[in-house]
Amino acid sequence: MKREYAVIGLGRFGGSICKELSVEGMPVLAIDNDPQKVNEYKNIASHAVIADSTDEAALKELGIKNIDHVIIAIGDNIQASILTTVILTDFGIKRITVKAQNDYHEKILNKIGADHVVHPERDMGKRIAHSLISSNILDYLELSDDHSIVEVKAGKKMVGKTLIDLDIRANYGCNVVAIKSNKDINVSPSADYSLKDDDILIVIGADKDISKFEKHLVIDD
Ligand code: ATP
């Protein structure tokens, strides 16, 4: 049976999750307290209903307890977002993803039992900032508060050298987990792999080590 989703809050973020899940053929219950928003999604989601998600009885009536994964995408009204999270954790929903508006909001959500907190504006800001540092930095993904994965193009300082020449682990403390070369992906590349122009390295490590690696090997002078 297909997993069922509910999206609460149909702003830009919640709305795009709802659209994407629907395009993928997933059943989605779309909820907002703004009738105009709900009207926009009535032909997109499997069901679109007007409800205030801080109203426990209203959520119960919608049968939200039977939904596998609820996404709470209420932005500005932090109080409503927190209250909704508390109600849904009390209901014992298997999976709750909540959009955090700021770091303080994120901390509270983690404490009250949201099992997945997302912070799209902050994460996108970080990714874009890294790509601005060098055109060789292609992507940046946060794994935790202090660890990330970075995808970088082999630049002038790396092409023609083997991984053992560069000794990225000993010199910078991070690990090359894979190398994309044309359409191939080489997971756990061997130490004698010689880097070619246009190779893409996927590197994992502590943020401070990744910074060091970027500064010394990725940013062309
Ligand atoms: P985005 O940046 O994704 O557009 P946002 O961060 O500006 O969103 P808001 O517009 O504040 O977020 O909220 C998203 C949606 O959540 C709105 O459509 C709003 O009507 C809805 N919403 C706010 N509070 C509630 C509530 N208590 N119950 C249901 N929906 C709510």
Mind listing the pLDDT tens digit for each residue in 83-123?
999 999 999 998 999 999 998 999 999 899 888 999 998 88
Residues with Cβ within 8 Å of residue 124, at least 6 apart in sequence = none
**Count of other CB atoms within 10 angstroms of residue 193:** 16
DSSP three-state, residue 36: helix
CA–centroid distance, residue 92 to ligand 1 (Å): 23
Q: Are 106 and 123 in contact (CB under 8 A)?
A: no
Q: Which of 51-55, 126-130, 152-156, 162-166 has the lowest mean pLDDT?
A: 126-130
Distances (CA, A) of 129 to 81, 122, 141, 177: 28, 10, 12, 23
CA–centroid distance, residue 8 to ligand 1 (Å): 8
Pocket of ligand 1 (CB under 6 A): 8-14, 31-34, 37, 52-54, 73-77, 80
Distances (CA, A) of 47 to 74, 164, 203: 18, 56, 42
Q: Give the chain's mean pLDDT.
A: 93
Distances (CA, A) of 140 to 99, 134, 137, 213: 20, 12, 8, 13
Q: In this predicted model, what pLDDT tens digit does every residue of 124-161 receive, in sequence order?
A: 888 888 888 888 899 988 888 789 999 999 988 999 99
The domains found in the chain, sorted by start residue, are: 5-118 (3.40.50.720), 122-218 (3.30.70.1450)
> Nearest residue CA, atom 2 of ligand 1?
12
Backbone φ and ψ of 219, nearest 5°:
-75, 115
Q: How many residues does the chain have?
A: 221
Ligand 1 atom having least distance to the Cα of 14? 3
CA–centroid distance, residue 11 to ligand 1 (Å): 5
CA–centroid distance, residue 24 to ligand 1 (Å): 23
Examine the pLDDT at 61 and tell me if it is beyond 80. yes
Ligand 1 atom having least distance to the Cα of 16? 3
Instruction: Specify the pTM.
Output: 0.79
Mean pLDDT score, 202-216: 93
Ligand 1 atom having least distance to the Cα of 84? 27
CA–centroid distance, residue 76 to ligand 1 (Å): 7
Percentage of the chain exceeding pLDDT 70: 99
Q: Are 12 and 19 in contact (CB under 8 A)?
A: no
Question: Torsion over CA of 212, 214, 217 and 218, rounded to 10 degrees?
Answer: -170
